[in-house]
Chain A
Amino acid sequence: MARFLRLVVLLGLVAAAAGWFLSAPRPVDPARFDGLTGTAERGALIFAAAGCRGCHVAPGDKDEGPAVLAGGYHIKSPFGTFISPNISPSPAGIGGWSVADLGNALMAGVSPQGRHYYPALPYTSYIHMAPQDVADLKAYLDSLPPSDVASQAHEIGFPFTIRRGLGLWKLLNLKPDWVLAEAGTDSLKRGRYLVEAVAHCGECHTPRDVMGGLDRSRWMMGAPNPSGKGNIPAIHPSQLSWSAEDIAYYLETGFTPDYDSAGGQMVEVIRGMSQLPPQDRAAIAAYLKALP
């Protein structure tokens, strides 16, 4: 009996050690950011495509000028409410961060202190980002006005308060492979990069499993609205009859083929998309039409 108990304790320790090892935060290889210099003008387009404003300006801030990224946006989820942090260039935000720090946050969900971020920051999409785009984005973020508003703590309960557990979540959900495995043309590759990585469209348009991970088998098939009532529509070609031109025009102006206009969070998305070059919007449309 004592031997059996010893075995149980031993197995428990082995499992705990394995769990501790597997759940460790894994930053991006720092060499990927070596020697990169960012350009703010290029970063402004990454910022627009990613819609950073949408979650990181103070709620209700519709100012047209340079974004004050004070944070405070609430994302309600079955696991609790996540509150977006200050990401302005100030001590209360990301002041003093290196390009690698930003890259680790976006592409690996790891903070400069080596802790896991919650996936409310869509690093499962940003994992595909090009390091040069991270450097450009960093240059643009550094050009924005600082805000000294303190970031608020997330409103989540046990066991989700244990950040270490996110390491196991990442093993399941933080994957380097594309959903659209084959992208035969430059336009499709660009569209895939914008949709699956930077613009993180799947984060709202794809339903999630019980663990809160994106269900890639139902990619772009629509999902409940994370910020309130109603549903985020399906944009998979089996569900959306719009032409590629219709999609591109919607991203430019917000007008649907019936000349209804975009609503809810999509208004902010289109504000960003409308700033991109026309060929980027066409690439997004081509990607959406090409989904199997």
Chain B
Amino acid sequence: MKIRFTLALGLAFAGALTTTTLADGHGNKAAMAAVQARQATMDLYAFNLGILGAMAKGAVDYDADAAKAAATNLAALSSMNQMAMWPPGSDTDAMGDATRALPAIWAADSKVFEAGMAMATATGALAEVAGDGLDALRGGIGAVGKSCGGCHDTYRQPK
């Protein structure tokens, strides 16, 4: 199951990086829609992380069901096929301030594929333990945070 899932994710990334191109005219509009879709995805990550983080920080009481639900959502979001959301030409060079996605994402030596898989692995592991108590949640969320950094260190334009 897990292998098939990572394979699908891998193919999705590979597809996004190599086959999608933008037609003239529609280019800007289509690229903008893609940017908005991935920013909406980031918002969904943040919303679900917020539920988990509030418990991990001790700002709200731990709730096993809510933790399990949020972590399962995160794992589902991380396994989504994002092929169409990352078309070439939707980077900071082409779109200026509309995006912080750096051209390095689409470069030949890009490691975003591995980073995406690392995130899917970390969120999958968190979903499995998030309902098992606060310590398990705290342990799993650190690896998720680290996986976010896997892309945000070199592939996102600093503010």
Residues of A within 8 A of B (CB): 62, 225, 228-233, 245, 249, 252-255, 258-265, 267-268, 270-271, 274
B50 touches A263 (CB 8 A): no
* Nearest CB in chain B to that of A249: its residue: B57
Determine if B38 is an interface residue (Cβ-Cβ < 8 Å): no
Chain B residues with CB under 8 Å of A228's CB are 158
Interchain residue pairs with CB less than 8 A apart (5)? A261-B152, A262-B149, A263-B153, A267-B149, A267-B152
A267 touches B153 (CB 8 A): yes
Residues of B within 8 Å of A, CB-based: how many?
Answer: 26
Whether A229 contacts B158 in the complex (CB less than 8 A), given A245-B57, A253-B142, A255-B53, comes out as yes
A249 touches B153 (CB 8 A): no
Determine if B9 is an interface residue (Cβ-Cβ < 8 Å): no
Q: How many A-B residue pairs have CB under 8 A?
A: 72
B148 touches A264 (CB 8 A): no
Measured CA separation A258–B54 after assembly (Å): 11
Q: What 4 additional pairs, Cβ within 8 angstroms, besides A249-B56, A252-B142, A270-B149?
A: A231-B158, A233-B159, A262-B149, A271-B149
B111-159 interface with A by 8 A CB criterion: 111, 141-142, 144-146, 148-150, 152-153, 156-159
Whether A259 contacts B53 in the complex (CB less than 8 A), given A230-B159, A233-B159, A271-B146, comes out as yes
Chain B residues with CB under 8 Å of A249's CB are 53, 56-57
* Nearest CB in chain B to that of A253: its residue: B145
B158 touches A254 (CB 8 A): no
Chain B residues with CB under 8 Å of A230's CB are 157-159
Determine if B8 is an interface residue (Cβ-Cβ < 8 Å): no
A254 touches B49 (CB 8 A): no
* Nearest CB in chain A to that of B111: its residue: A62
Chain A residues with CB under 8 Å of B57's CB are 245, 249
Determine if B76 is an interface residue (Cβ-Cβ < 8 Å): no
* Nearest CB in chain A to that of B155: its residue: A263
Chain B residues with CB under 8 Å of A225's CB are 158
Measured CA separation A113–B130 after assembly (Å): 55
A255 touches B49 (CB 8 A): yes
Whether A268 contacts B153 in the complex (CB less than 8 A), given A228-B158, A260-B46, comes out as yes
Nearest-Cβ distance from residue A1 to partner chain B, whole angstroms: 61
Residues of B within 8 A of A (CB): 42, 45-47, 49-50, 53, 56-59, 111, 141-142, 144-146, 148-150, 152-153, 156-159
A263 touches B156 (CB 8 A): yes
* Nearest CB in chain A to that of B115: its residue: A62
Measured CA separation A260–B153 after assembly (Å): 13
Whether A261 contacts B157 in the complex (CB less than 8 A), given A252-B142, A274-B142, comes out as no
B158 touches A253 (CB 8 A): no
B158 touches A264 (CB 8 A): yes
B49 touches A259 (CB 8 A): yes
Nearest-Cβ distance from residue B50 to partner chain A, whole angstroms: 5
Chain A residues with CB under 8 Å of B150's CB are 62
* Nearest CB in chain A to that of B143: its residue: A253
A261 touches B158 (CB 8 A): no
Nearest-Cβ distance from residue A262 to partner chain B, whole angstroms: 6
Whether A263 contacts B53 in the complex (CB less than 8 A), given A254-B145, A254-B146, A254-B148, comes out as no
A262 touches B152 (CB 8 A): yes
Chain A residues with CB under 8 Å of B152's CB are 261-264, 267
* Nearest CB in chain B to that of A260: its residue: B46
* Nearest CB in chain B to that of A261: its residue: B148
Measured CA separation A267–B157 after assembly (Å): 13
A255 touches B145 (CB 8 A): yes
Interface centre among B56, B57, B59, B144 (most CB of A within 10 A): B57
